[in-house]
Chain A
Amino acid sequence: MRGRVAALALASPLALILLAFLLVPIGTIVVVSFFDYDSVRMFPAFVWTNYEELLLSPITWKTYLLTLWFAAVTWAICLAIGFIVAYFLAFHVHSALMQTVLFLICTIPFWTSNVIRMISWIPFLGRNGILNSALLSMGAIDQPLEFLLFSDFAVVLAYVHLYALFMVVPIFNSMVRIDRSLVEAARDAGASEWQVLRNVIIPLARPGIAIGSILVVAVVMGDFVTVRLMSGGQSASVGLMMVNAMSLLQYPAAAANAVVLLVVVLLMIAAMLRVVDIRKEL
């Protein structure tokens, strides 16, 4: 009995925090998503129009597909970069000190705010930007490359720049915990480098890959600033749809969209966890 009380007492701070700052707000969003609204106010009601307008609109589907595409491309590139960097750090850098130093170097970009990191691409990639000027003066191109800025390319570039580290860290963390004797054993049994990677390292790094993927996908799915700034307002994302709705005081519409996005992201994460059982493999 005492054990139970102690357990409850220990769990209650977290439970209360989650209740107050997670469940109550989400509950409120769900409730508001059924409200009705006019151009300035919302009215308590129970209507499905917000969901109808959202789900029956081709714009919504297009925007969701675009956002998913951004998430998928960003995820794939981040995974490739993250895996290679983590692999190098974990298996090719032998001194622990050097590992730490190099790992810290990876985090240097994170010492400035993420808006600054994003905005600094604009003068770099612009029509008269540093990159175009350099290429022009080298004679590599004779017209400035316009696709570099205010394009989907720019959006993905910024995402990868911003979030690649989210992939590096958990994968690196998984990899350093792989027992080196397993790799040795595989080599002794005649496995090639490639076979070691495929059959030993990747399976054991899966929890890291899964955690990194969840972080990257969740962040990209909810983003609106990067899309707006890097596409020059020419591209859309689900987050941006919500911001637009809110700026016009259409809170219930934004709330409905938030609920749908939440469901979509939860489904995606559930799917990832189906593939990798993080708890079992940690």
Chain B
Amino acid sequence: MVETKAGQSKGIARRKLLGGVAGAALGSGAVTGFPTIWAQNIRNVVLRQFGTGVSNQNAIAEKCKEDLGITLQMTALDSDAVTQRAVTQPNSYDIADIEYWICKKVFPAGVLQPMDTSKIRLFDKIVPIFTTGKLTPTSTIAQGTAPNTVGFVDGPGSTRFAAAPTQWFTMIPTIYNADTLGIRPDLVGRPIRNWKDIMDPAFRGKTSILNIPSIGIMDAAMICESGGVIRYGDKGNMTRAEIDKTIDFLIQAKRAGQFRAFWKTFDESVNLMASGEVVIQSMWSPAVTAVRSRGIPCVYQPLEEGYRAWGGGLALAKHLRGLQLDAAYEYINWYLSGWVGAYLNRQGYYSAVLETARQHMTADEWGYWMEGKPAQGEIKNPQGQVMERAGAVRDGGSFEQRMGAVACWNAVMDEDRYMVQKWNQFIAS
């Protein structure tokens, strides 16, 4: 499958080159291609993209070079460094790959420019979570920095987020996912159903949460609400009183010895789980996969209260213009055209335009990753390693089941500074 696909895209690339309509016909044939005047010299353009490691992948840069001729220079940094660089060195990048909550901080600083949706061919096909905020017309918008709330600005030069969709889109979604708690099914010894289960005295000294304030506070909020400790007005934008109560609850739990450790990096979370230091903890999806690939049972446990979701996107630097800006649009259109989507879906993330991604995946892959169906054969990751064997079912089920059960998004609060002070108090206590 992989080989035929590569063959296909090469064929397309050749056609495209001959036809001189760079990238327009890529992947899905259904798009309304229009030739750009820059089509010929776009091949020499270099775009500097930086962001968190998850979507900044060399394979994507290589494929982009092959299909469009555009050279992508990728720099991967952690999310704090990304925020910092986005704001303080706006000329050091052309494309920022940032999370939505980071966008809420960075966009108002005036270092990014919104995209004209009329230049994005598959704009209408983008998963509506990012446009209207609603996965289906009946779903409710989750709390926190939901992508649609920072998805649009008023006009081309504006830095003010618009309440409803406009023609000016801040970020093209790259990857997103629904996070929950990871457990060691062999060691917890009972079914885990709720976020509050992490506070079960039976797990004293065997739990962990992540020590990244803006994400950790959301996990903490899910736990508090689940345990009936607090009922929040909006978890994603807590009042000072709510922050105080949440942190006090965490401090009590810490003093009682509930936590084994707090983790900050991906590998720490993998090691804590794999070594049996913890049996239930905040986790990211690829970390669960990493534990499992060592032959250690680990489940990304769906919980009744729902998921904490996160998402990232590509934003254009303010200084982009002319040829470079057109190249950036070409790149974005290519990004949505299917190959990248399939590549990301195969890693267990979700991508922005599902329709085109599906065309680049096998029926079995699509069934396993997106529809929650049992795998028919071996499920491989993009590097060709076997991730799951026949019969395996994705934890949490289908795309709709998982993304439809999002309770909150990673967030930046108005009381951000206060929250961080309190969080430091929790860690120091």
Contacts and interface: CB of A to CB of B under 8 A. Distances in A.
Interface of A: 39-41, 53, 57, 59, 62-63, 66, 122-123, 126-129, 146, 149-150, 228, 231-236, 240-241, 244, 247-250
B261 A123 contact: no
Contacts of A41: 87-88, 109
Name the interface size band of chain B.
20 to 34
Given A232-B260, A233-B262, A248-B80, A59 B428 contact: yes
Interface string B75-97: 00000100110011000000000
A146 B428 contact: no
Contacts of A235: 428
B425 A127 contact: no
A57 B109 contact: no
Contact of B205 (A63, A146, A236): A146
B261 A236 contact: no
Contacts of B321: none
B261 A232 contact: yes
Interface in B378-429: 412, 416-417, 420-421, 424-425, 427-429
B263 interface: yes
A59 B425 contact: yes
A250 B84 CA distance: 10
A233 B264 contact: yes
Contacts of B263: 232-233
Nearest to A119: B271
A256 B421 CA distance: 15
B420 A241 contact: no
B260 to A, nearest CB: 6
A241 B428 contact: yes
A233 B261 contact: yes
A236 B211 CA distance: 12
B261 A40 contact: no
Interface string B91-121: 0000000000000011001000000000000
A150 B262 CA distance: 9
Question: Which interface residue of A57, A232, A236, A240 has the most chain B CB atoms within 10 A?
Answer: A232
A44 B420 CA distance: 23
B428 A248 contact: no
Given A40-B106, A123-B275, A126-B275, A232 B262 contact: yes
B202 to A, nearest CB: 15
B412 A150 contact: no
A128 B416 CA distance: 38
B263 to A, nearest CB: 7
B128 interface: no
B235 to A, nearest CB: 19
Given A40-B109, A128-B276, A233 B211 contact: yes
A126 B262 CA distance: 15
Contacts of B420: 244, 248, 250
A247 B88 contact: no
A1 to B, nearest CB: 50
B350 to A, nearest CB: 27
A127 B421 contact: no
Contacts of B254: 234
Nearest to B272: A232
B259 A127 contact: no
B277 interface: yes
22 contacts: A39-B416, A40-B84, A40-B109, A41-B88, A53-B421, A59-B421, A63-B428, A122-B271, A146-B205, A149-B277, A150-B260, A232-B261, A232-B262, A233-B211, A233-B263, A234-B259, A234-B262, A234-B427, A235-B428, A241-B424, A244-B420, A244-B427
B374 interface: no
A52 B165 CA distance: 43
Interface string B51-91: 00000000000000000000000000000100110011000
A235 B211 CA distance: 12
A39 B105 contact: yes
B213 A248 contact: yes
A66 B428 CA distance: 9
Interface string B265-306: 000000100011100000000000000000000000000000
Contact of A127 (B109, B276, B417, B424): B276
A230 B296 CA distance: 24
A234 B416 CA distance: 22
Nearest to A42: B88
A234 B261 contact: yes
A41 B259 CA distance: 34
Contacts of B83: 40, 249
A15 B234 CA distance: 57
Interface string B210-239: 010100000000000000000000000000
Contacts of A128: 275-277
B184 to A, nearest CB: 12
A244 B425 CA distance: 11
A273 B416 CA distance: 44
Given A228-B264, A244-B420, A249-B83, 14 more contacts: A53-B421, A57-B421, A59-B421, A59-B424, A62-B429, A123-B275, A127-B277, A232-B208, A232-B262, A233-B427, A234-B259, A240-B427, A244-B427, A250-B417
Contacts of A127: 275-277
Nearest to B84: A249
Contacts of A228: 264
Contact of A62 (B259, B421, B428): B428
